[in-house]
Amino acid sequence: MEMDQLVALCKRRGFLFQSSEIYGGLQGFWDYGPMGVELKRNVREAWWRDMVTGHNELLVSPGAPSVHEMVGLDCAIIMHPQVWKVSGHYDLFHDFMVDCRESKHRYRHDQVQGRWVEYRGKRIFVASEASGSEGEEERRQKALKFFDLRSKNADELQWQGEPVSLATLKDTSAVLGPDAKTLGTLTEPREFNLMFKTIVGALGGEEDAVFLRPETAQGIFVNFKNVMDSTRVGIPFGVAQIGKSFRNEITPRNFTFRSREFEQMEIEFFCHPSQSRAWYQYWRDRRYKWYLDLGLAGDRLRLRDHAVDELSHYSVGTADIEYAFPFLAPGEFGELEGVAHRGDFDLRSHMEGKLVRRGSELVVEKDAEGKPRHRGSGKDMNYFDDQTKERFIPHVIEPSAGADRATLAFLCQAYTEDEVPDESGKAAKRVSLKLHPRLAPIKAAVFPLVKKDGMPEVAKEIYSTLKPFMNVFYDEKGAVGRRYRRQDEIGTPFCITVDGDTLKDGTVTIRDRDSLKQWRTTKEDLVAELRQRLQ
């Protein structure tokens, strides 16, 4: 599947629109249309149901070290600025960027790759943002153009070494930027904090600056005591939150994959330090299985453990759940979710102040006068175990997923082109979204075969009977084959048709989107049958 086909379908059928499109759009921001909003809600609801409300805390879940509890939270997007100073986001949450003086484009320093090439004694570094074979081809074309050569003379270019990151170069005077025609147009890399800043209050100055949260996680940490004190949860337990996060990404791209406003679905799971490895393993495997159960194919989904030098400043172990998105080069995967073992980093930071790693130790970072660089709240974040009489700071396992990335992966996986017989029996191309029934925006569509003989009245009655139980759609316009195609394209798993037999014996036809099988059932059994099939 080409990404362009999915993007076109998303616009045509109301899944996703560019934000503020009538004004030319705003890069990195997206609007979900009538179908997209249902799909994303279903992704969020499946997550909340499977992780929180559907969780049975009286039983040991398969693979879990013990029984555990799950509760939810919904925190403010804007929090006290000290939260981000202590968490490390204020000092550490930044990317390096380079600007191109010629094209005026901006790139993430670590995402520009290039390769040295020589022609008649002149050596240049040809840079590109694309990777893999796409990047190779782009660099080949750029080099040919730069040296004013034709494709048939491509052999005269002497490529040297493998592609390397721009970040490995000290001198960029021989660099041909990704969108430049001349050499040396890229600026020195500059640091760029990814948090969006705003001001609280009408008269606010710099001291009233606050940030839009770049992750939902911190809201959970700062409420750790509130949750403990207001409920009867005891270690081990998890707190879940779904909400918007904001990052001023330098290069938002690949549809919704890297946006500036997006939604996260995060769990902070608090456990005893001695059990943390086992819980890390549990959540890593459980979250991977969640995507498989909802339809992502095993050969396009992988669990990848981070190498030590890849770990975030807080993490003592992280695994990414990754999907082979179609906009990536063959063999490449993009992150869907990170499952991190964060140790006691976050709770300790909010208690003592911003921590830094010194060897294997986490210590409070000090300024030149020996005072904490960013002071913590001073609130005690210890947990007291009534039974063992032990006092300790819980360790945290964090499965952190993106609702938009998950939605995009489900869309990519679902997009299918096949050939099915049309009304005349001839094979015709069909585009369908083979979404898991739990995720499908509309669960069933109800059609009268023809717009006469009392069929619309019966179909409308069926529509009204189904409506309280699921999102259904009524359509009586056009040929029934075309109505089926329209539903296939938005992923509706079942179409129900009222025909002449319905009027005689009270049965209707159910058509399955994927197998195209059709069978009859009575009007009375319809709700129960569809509900069972939708699970």
Near ligand GAP by CB under 6 A: residue from 38, 337, 488, 499: 337
Nearer to ligand GAP by Cβ, of 64 and 311: the residue is 311
Q: Does 402 bind ligand GAP (CB under 6 A)?
A: yes
Contact window for ligand GAP (CB under 6 A) among 79-87, 168-176, 205-213, 395-403: 395-403
d(CA 446, CA 509): 10
Nearer to ligand GAP by Cβ, of 117 and 294: the residue is 294
Nearer to ligand GAP by Cβ, of 276 and 400: the residue is 400
Q: Does 247 bind ligand GAP (CB under 6 A)?
A: yes
Three-state DSSP string of 139-153: HHHHHHHHCCCCHHH
- Which amino acid is it at 498? V
Cβ contact 264:209 at 8 Å: no
Near ligand GAP by CB under 6 A: residue from 111, 248, 349, 400: 400
Contact window for ligand GAP (CB under 6 A) among 55-63, 256-264, 421-429, 473-481: 256-264
Nearer to ligand GAP by Cβ, of 253 and 533: the residue is 253
Nearer to ligand GAP by Cβ, of 346 and 499: the residue is 346
Near ligand GAP by CB under 6 A: residue from 68, 85, 405, 438: 405
Burial code of 389-415, b = ≥16 C-beta within 10 A, e = fewer?
eeeebbbbbbbbbbbbbbbbbbbbbbb
Q: Does 243 bind ligand GAP (CB under 6 A)?
A: no
Contact window for ligand GAP (CB under 6 A) among 130-138, 258-266, 462-470, 473-481: 258-266
Nearer to ligand GAP by Cβ, of 88 and 493: the residue is 88
d(CA 286, CA 283): 5
Q: How far is the CB of 343 from ligand GAP (least distance, A)?
A: 14
- Which amino acid is it at 38? E
Where would I find the beta strands (DSSP E) of 4-121?
Answer: 16-18, 30-32, 69-72, 94-99, 106-108, 113-119
Query: Degrees (nearest 5) of the Cα angle 12, 17, 21?
Result: 115
Binding to ligand GAP (CB under 6 A): which residues in 133-192?
Answer: none
227 C-beta neighbours (distance < 10 Å), count: 17
d(CA 75, CA 115): 47
> What values do phi and psi take at 234, rounded to 5?
-135, 155
DSSP state of 183: B
Q: Which residue is nearest to ligand GAP (CB)?
A: 402
Question: Residue 11 to residues 7, 261, 444: CA-CA distances in angstroms?
Answer: 6, 19, 22
Minimal CA–CA distance to 352: which of 342, 366, 334?
A: 366
Q: Does 268 bind ligand GAP (CB under 6 A)?
A: no
Near ligand GAP by CB under 6 A: residue from 255, 262, 290, 291: 262
User: In sequence order, what are the residues at sequence separation of 6 or more whose Cβ sits closer than 8 angstroms to the Cβ of residue 426?
Assistant: none
Q: Write out the DSSP string of 384-440.
A: EETTTTEEEPPEEEEEEEEHHHHHHHHHHHHEEEEEEE-TTS-EEEEEEE---TTT-
Q: Does 68 bind ligand GAP (CB under 6 A)?
A: no
Q: Does 335 bind ligand GAP (CB under 6 A)?
A: yes
- CA 231 to chain centroid, in Å, comes to 31
Nearer to ligand GAP by Cβ, of 114 and 394: the residue is 394
Nearer to ligand GAP by Cβ, of 119 and 196: the residue is 196
Contact window for ligand GAP (CB under 6 A) among 70-78, 139-147, 333-341, 356-364: 333-341
Near ligand GAP by CB under 6 A: residue from 111, 264, 276, 507: 264
Q: Does 318 bind ligand GAP (CB under 6 A)?
A: no
Q: Does 317 bind ligand GAP (CB under 6 A)?
A: no
Q: Does 339 bind ligand GAP (CB under 6 A)?
A: no
Nearer to ligand GAP by Cβ, of 159 and 333: the residue is 333
> What values do phi and psi take at 213, rounded to 5?
-60, 135
Q: How far is the CB of 91 from ligand GAP (least distance, A)?
A: 16
Q: Does 36 bind ligand GAP (CB under 6 A)?
A: no
Which two three-digit tokens encode residue 428?
A: 């015709």
Q: Does 283 bind ligand GAP (CB under 6 A)?
A: no
Q: Does 336 bind ligand GAP (CB under 6 A)?
A: yes
Nearer to ligand GAP by Cβ, of 323 and 484: the residue is 323
Near ligand GAP by CB under 6 A: residue from 129, 215, 352, 475: 215
Q: Does 258 bind ligand GAP (CB under 6 A)?
A: yes
Q: Does 259 bind ligand GAP (CB under 6 A)?
A: yes
Minimal CA–CA distance to 394: which of 365, 358, 359, 351?
A: 351
Query: Degrees (nearest 5) of the Cα angle 100, 104, 107?
Result: 55
d(CA 16, CA 256): 9
Q: Does 485 bind ligand GAP (CB under 6 A)?
A: no
Cβ contact 112:129 at 8 Å: yes
Residues that bind ligand GAP (CB under 6 A): 215, 217, 247, 249, 258-259, 262, 264, 266, 335-338, 398, 400-402, 404-405
